[in-house]
Structure 1
Amino acid sequence: MTSAQSSNSNFSENDFNLLEDSEDADNHTSALTATRLSLQFQLDDSYLGQRIDQVAAAVWSDFSREKLKQWLKDGHLLVNGNTVKPKYKCEGNELLTLEVELEAQTSAQPENIPLDIVYEDDDIIVINKPVGMVVHPGAGNSNGTLVNALLHHYPKSSELTRAGLVHRIDKDTSGLLVVAKNLEAQFSLSKQLAKKSVYRVYDLICYGNIIAGGTIDEPIKRHPVDRIKMAILPGGRDAVTHYNVKERFQNFTRVQAQLETGRTHQIRVHFTYIGYPLVGDPVYMSRVKVPAGASELLSDTLRGFKRQALHAAKLGLIHPRSKEEMLFEAPWPEDFTTLVNTLRSENKAY
């Protein structure tokens, strides 16, 4: 375990706006046992005239619309205690009741992979993810992922979509992730992310001299040619990054960035777009740039740093059950610390 810390006190950070005032997670009530799910949701006038299958998919977004339609047909999802067809039009005052046995939601297999657990209780797990660990199985990464490790650590996570994951960080980005251990927690955390009230702060090292902090507000979508990359393009999803300068070197800047949204590669794309790409980024940097006159130590350190210099250092959220504000911190990994120390000694600002 690292020296990562958690706090239930009010946040004391000054650099950014922190968590917004949070309402109760939502108007769900539930009783969860090992595999049986019992959920209720009270509709209001905002749902008037909408199809019940569309409403259910909006209310319980962690389940697919097709699955919810099947539960409607099978009588697991009731409206005012009655079975209705998926095309039923809501009057806006119905009580939805979902009673179902949960089946495995993932085909991934558990693996005994050590986890750096910063905090854990009955509802959430906060993990300090190491560099090189893929978060979710995918093409070319069917095992050795965070999901595989979670399934071994907490087998009931198989009952949750994405094993309880509510957000991700890139394979070669280190730092903090929160994982839900039950559906109520997953709903609550997903809602906080949607409301942009989860506090996510990253430390990064970029090329160039950034003069002052600011905000990058540019839409992001998949690159039209290079499908590995994301890009700033019209019609992309809104993406907002706030940042502050923390330390200046001759040819580099240490920055702290706060995510307002959480798009794929958001920080990497945003800082490349404004002309300050991240040190070591293998996707958005065509080659390693070594400053003229760099010492052998600095040159070797830069050439040996083969991943984006990005670390998810702080994570703030409202606990799904207790409603307490929680703030977690994770120290820099060894390679990031070495990079910063080398810049301090070999690339000091004038």
Structure 2
Amino acid sequence: MPRILEAKHRVPDTLAGSRLDQVAVELFDGHSRERLKGWIKTGELSVDGLQAKPKDKLHGGEYLALHATLEDDMRFEAEDIPLAIVFEDEHVIVIDKPAGLVVHPAAGNASGTLLNALLHHCPTLAQIPRAGIVHRLDKDTTGLMVVAKTLTAQTALVEQLQARTMSRHYDAVIIGTPVAGGKVDAPIGRHPKDRKRQAVNASGKPAVTHYRVVERFRAHTHVRCKLETGRTHQIRVHMAHQRYPLIGDPVYGGRAKLPPGAALPLKEILREFPRQALHARKLAFVHPESGNDVSFLAPLPDDLLMLLDYLREDSETMR
């Protein structure tokens, strides 16, 4: 049965001068540019109550209203896939995603995803766009995600993301030893030559990452990152841009850096670590129903704990 999607956003002054379809992609998270253009052309996505064209330039301050029909073809199959649920009530679910779990079905991943698992766990999520998914983690990034169980909760959480009031902290293990933490303020967009990658790009979307040192080893560092924005691969791109790529990153990392004289077990784990060493450790937001501040923590997974143990042992041995 078709479902109605309704949402409304004010165009921030920072997007003044941009095309309507470009602004829509920025504000209505989770929908493709082509789908949004279609809604603009049919008038289902309006500007201050009036129909506009995708190429129309906006001045900032306008209100974009979406009242669109979501057809049944946007649904996916429910699958009995275990979920590590940290918290759940009538409005939200907070999960601790494992490595290897794709968040949303796409080409090559039509099943076996978090979305399929959510539909099995809570069948009513079939009535919510993207089964209530508010934000994503890369397939091999572990840690906390929040899922909305109602359209009202989803809209409120997306607005918090856009207003940068949802707090997201990550643990990462990087190659290199920065003297101190810092702030990376560099726009991110598609790589000019490789559509599967992201890159720091002057024409990209604003992206800000803060990072601080937790523990320093001989050739690597455990850092904690805080996101202001949520661009695709943001931490991975920003840290590589700083010349501190994540251990195990198959896309943005370089060759494994082996500390001089390192023991064989450490060499093996550095060469063979199977994923980017990145974990969404902390998630905090305003509960969409109660209005209370809520915060959740997810301990480091076993593979990262083992990696840190080997690095720590190496540093202590070589003192």
Same fold (TM over 0.5): yes
Change (3 A) 1:280 1:102: closer
Change (3 A) 1:156 1:140: same
Name which of 240, 251, 269 aligns with 1:272: 240
1:35–1:159: 8 Å Cα contact kept in structure 2? no
Instruction: Tell me the secondary structure at the aligned position of residue 339 of structure 1.
Output: helix
Would you say 1:262 and 2:246 are equivalent positions? no
Instruction: Tell me the secondary structure at the aligned position of residue 236 of structure 2.
Output: helix
Instruction: Tell me the secondary structure at the aligned position of residue 263 of structure 1.
Output: coil
Per the alignment, residue 150 of structure 1 pairs with: 118
Per the alignment, residue 248 of structure 1 pairs with: 216
> What displacement does 1:174 show?
0.2
Instruction: Tell me the secondary structure at the aligned position of residue 241 of structure 1.
Output: strand
Per the alignment, residue 116 of structure 1 pairs with: 84
Bigger share in helix? 2
Please tell me the residue identity of whatever aligns with 2:267.
S
What whole-Å deviation, never above 9, does each CA across 1:301-347 have from its counterpart, x for those lacking one? 21231110000000000000100000000011110110011111123
Instruction: Give the Cα–Cα distance (whole angstroms) in 2 for the partners of residues 159 and 218 of structure 1.
Output: 37
2:6–2:66: 8 Å Cα contact kept in structure 1? yes
Q: How does 1:89-168 map to 2 (within 5 A)?
A: 104=72, 106-168=74-136
Please tell me the residue identity of whatever aligns with 1:336.
L
Per the alignment, residue 250 of structure 2 pairs with: 282
Change (3 A) 1:294 1:113: same
What whole-Å deviation, never above 9, does each CA across 1:255-310 have from its counterpart, x for those lacking one? 00000000011101111111111111111124323222110111122123111000
Name which of 263, 279, 285 aligns with 1:311: 279
Please give the root-mean-square deviation of Cα atoms over the aligned residues, in Å: 3.3
Instruction: Give the Cα–Cα distance (whole angstroms) in 1 for the partners of residues 28 and 237 of structure 2.
Output: 28
Change (3 A) 1:274 1:68: closer
Gaps of 5+ in 1: 1-33, 47-52
Instruction: Give the Cα–Cα distance (whole angstroms) in 2 for the partners of residues 306 and 101 of structure 1.
Output: 41
Instruction: Give the Cα–Cα distance (whole angstroms) in 2 for the partners of residues 219 and 304 of structure 1.
Output: 31
Instruction: Give the Cα–Cα distance (whole angstroms) in 2 for the partners of residues 286 and 200 of structure 1.
Output: 26
Q: How many aligned positions are there?
A: 290
> What displacement does 1:107 show?
3.1
Q: How does 1:177-326 map to 2 (within 5 A)?
A: 177-326=145-294
Change (3 A) 1:68 1:238: closer
Change (3 A) 1:257 1:150: same
Instruction: Tell me the secondary structure at the aligned position of residue 246 of structure 1.
Output: strand
1:110–1:150: 8 Å Cα contact kept in structure 2? yes
Q: Which of the pair has the greater relative contact order for Cα pairs under 8 Å at 6+ separation?
A: 1
Instruction: Tell me the secondary structure at the aligned position of residue 347 of structure 1.
Output: helix
2:7–2:155: 8 Å Cα contact kept in structure 1? no
Instruction: Give the Cα–Cα distance (whole angstroms) in 1 for the partners of residues 158 and 28 of structure 2.
Output: 9
Instruction: Give the Cα–Cα distance (whole angstroms) in 2 for the partners of residues 184 and 324 of structure 1.
Output: 16
Instruction: Give the Cα–Cα distance (whole angstroms) in 1 for the partners of residues 96 and 7 of structure 2.
Output: 34
TM superposition score normalised by structure 1:
0.74
Instruction: Give the Cα–Cα distance (whole angstroms) in 2 for the partners of residues 170 and 85 of structure 1.
Output: 38
Instruction: Give the Cα–Cα distance (whole angstroms) in 2 for the partners of residues 345 and 231 of structure 1.
Output: 35
Change (3 A) 1:225 1:66: closer
Please tell me the residue identity of whatever aligns with 1:272.
A
TM superposition score normalised by structure 2:
0.81
Per the alignment, residue 337 of structure 1 pairs with: 305
Instruction: Give the Cα–Cα distance (whole angstroms) in 1 for the partners of residues 178 and 75 of structure 2.
Output: 45
1:281–1:307: 8 Å Cα contact kept in structure 2? yes
